[in-house]
Structure 1
Amino acid sequence: MSNVLLPMDTCRQLLRALKTRYQAASKAEKTRILEEFILISGYHRKSAIRLLNGAVTNSSQQSRLATARSIYGAASQQALIVLWEASDRLCGKRLRALLPQLIPAMEKHGHISLNPALREQLPSCRTSFI
């Protein structure tokens, strides 16, 4: 059998289908399943073993986590990026402390123009996404 590489979502579907079978299989069956998965997916042996031994997860659970993280709108993100660049890319912790002084200075010199609601929201933003 030739080494065929699958698209990522197809590989994830295959992994979900094989996980429970792999975890319940005997040693000889595990070897066969593992070798087939390696040939089809292109994963290295140790990576494939880790994936097949991992807990069976629900993909909807992972997608809910990804959507829960995006709590700021595009305007907030763009404003934070401009402020972050102006601060010479400070870490999030220091940028957050600097925002109350940086926002008025940037507005005073015409480098940024924020509406009042956004101006109030920015100092309370978690800046770890930058």
Structure 2
Amino acid sequence: MRDGARVHKVYFAPATPCDRLLAHDSVEPAIKEKLKAQFEGLDPVRLLQEMRTTQQILSDFAAHGVSTAEGPTDESDVAVFLASLSSAWKESEARPTHRKQPKAKHWWRSRVDPFADAWPLIEGWLVAEPSVPANVLMDRLAAMFPEAYASQEKLRTLQRRVKAWRAERVKELITGGLSKPAAIPAEA
């Protein structure tokens, strides 16, 4: 409605699409009765449970290629579902389509290893002195090969390599000979 330059907007009362159809004059009374009957037969909690079950089946099928078809649910399943709603907010999003799929671990190198040639020497130092810090190893390399390792820009890469080497040694200490297959003696 316009009053000079001022516009007054008039809004309808909030209503669902079903309520709007039922209130509209051009919809036939027989269709309105069918809509009312269908609306009264709906159970939003059961509908939500069916949607989540279907999402879980689709998610499993997409992730694993396996169909986990489930039969119809009984009332006890609905009771369990309703009981879980009170704590669902603590676990964040409950829908299976919102779970992050595990990514493949990044194992490949994106750059050439700057310590490929010097690693046997570094590993010898680590075997002799396992607790030596990586920055001391970097200083030793810079003293031996100043043209390649004079700057400290490769220090973080060396720290990562030393950390991985130490983790491997710890794993070998813990598992002992379990991780390596036993040598098969050659028959004479």
Query: So what's the TM-score if we normalise by structure 2?
Result: 0.26
- Tell me which of the two structures has the higher relative contact order, counting C-alpha pairs closer than 8 angstroms and 6 or more residues apart: 1
Larger Rg: 2
Query: So what's the TM-score if we normalise by structure 1?
Result: 0.33
